[in-house]
């Protein structure tokens, strides 16, 4: 991924000091398409945790191919970005660190220190970052894959499983509708059609499996309806409902404000109902 290739990049800084004012211009000069957050955007919360999270979620959802996050030391920005599943943020103080992060860690978010990064150093780091190509060595790929194992271990607790017909097709639908990422799969090949797949939807895990009468695992199509309703909490329910409808879902109830929430409801093509919403008021909601 070199500078000759136009890349969608999400960028944030928590204050307009140091190289923050130069960063967007330098990336645009290299021909990249930018989404700006934090102090680089208007009417967004500038604090490093919020600004870096916004970038990380752009990358995790596929709205951006790469991210760049900045704070005074770069440490807080990298910590915040790495809390979002699917993000591999690397704090880089020089070109060698950037090259290594791209090659050995397949890093997709670059974290920079506003205090330490000079204009000349910024150019060197960006050169190394965008020229970097992830390693295909087996041990390097194994390390990167193991990060998903760590993430799954962190996701202990109840995880619903959706029984469907046409499991492979359903997995692709959830990717399109909800920006889901597949982190585990058994089957789902030409040799073994039935699939069991673990998907990361937002910050939660959902399993999708082809129905099996042998295991008393029935789809809504077989039952004539679903026994459970999925609740999906998102920042923008209207946009998520629109994405689901574009992917092939059926609208059951348009998003509206009720009971202190913004809520909408869709039925996916496999008979499962999704109630999509968020609490009204500040986002994200305060921790319990």
Instruction: Kindly state the tokens that stand for 84.
Output: 């979002």
Residue with tokens 């991924």: 1
Instruction: Kindly state the tokens that stand for 42.
Output: 């208007």
Residues 178-228 have pLDDT tens digits of 999 888 899 988 777 899 999 989 878 899 999 998 889 999 999 999 888
- Asked whether the bond before 284 is cis by omega within 30 degrees of 0, the reply is yes
**Which H/E stretch holds residue 237?**
helix 237-247
Residues 103-121 have pLDDT tens digits of 999 999 999 999 999 999 9
- Which residues are CB-contacts of 90 (< 8 A; sequence separation ≥ 6)? 78, 97, 98, 101, 105, 107, 109, 110, 111
Assign 158 a pLDDT band (cuts: 50, 70, 90): confident
- pTM, whole model, 2 decimals? 0.66
Q: Dihedral sign, CA of 230, 233, 237, 241?
A: negative
**What average pLDDT is seen over the chain?**
92
Residues 9-31 have pLDDT tens digits of 999 999 999 999 899 999 999 99
Q: Is the pLDDT of residue 154 over 80?
A: no
> Is beta strand 261-267 parallel, antiparallel or unpaired with respect to 273-279?
antiparallel
Assign 147 a pLDDT band (cuts: 50, 70, 90): confident
Q: List, in order of start, the domains of the chain with CATH numbers.
A: 8-139 (3.40.1400.10), 158-279 (3.10.180.10)
Neighbours of 175 (CB within 10 A): 16
* DSSP output for 123-145: HHHHHHHHH------HHHHHHHH
């Amino acid at each position: 991924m070199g500078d000759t290739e136009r890349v969608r990049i999400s960028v944030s800084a928590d204050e307009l000091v140091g190289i923050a004012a130069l960063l967007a211009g330098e990336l645009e000069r290299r021909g990249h398409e930018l989404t700006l957050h934090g102090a680089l955007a208007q009417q967004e919360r500038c604090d490093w945790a919020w600004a870096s999270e916004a970038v990380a979620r752009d990358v995790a959802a596929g709205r951006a191919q790469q991210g760049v996050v900045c704070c005074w030391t770069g440490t807080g920005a990298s910590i915040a970005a790495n809390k979002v599943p699917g993000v591999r943020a690397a704090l880089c103080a020089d070109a060698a660190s950037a090259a290594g992060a791209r090659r050995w860690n397949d890093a997709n978010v670059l974290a920079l220190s506003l205090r330490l990064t000079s204009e000349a150093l910024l150019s060197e780091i960006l050169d190394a970052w965008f020229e970097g190509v992830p390693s295909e060595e087996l041990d390097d790929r194994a390390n990167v894959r193991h990060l998903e194992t760590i993430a799954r271990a962190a996701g202990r607790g109840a995880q619903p499983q959706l029984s469907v017909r046409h499991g492979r097709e359903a997995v692709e639908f959830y990717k399109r509708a909800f920006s889901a990422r597949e982190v585990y799969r058994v089957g789902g090949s030409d040799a073994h059609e039935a699939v069991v797949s673990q998907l990361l939807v937002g910050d939660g895990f959902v399993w999708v499996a082809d129905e099996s009468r042998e295991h008393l695992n029935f789809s809504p199509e077989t039952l004539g309806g679903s026994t459970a309703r999925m609740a999906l909490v998102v920042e923008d329910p209207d946009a998520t409902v629109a994405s689901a409808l574009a992917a092939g879902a059926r609208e059951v109830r348009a998003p509206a404000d009720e009971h202190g929430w913004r809520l909408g409801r869709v039925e996916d093509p496999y008979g499962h109902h999704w109630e999509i919403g968020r609490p009204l008021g500040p986002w994200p909601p305060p921790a319990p």
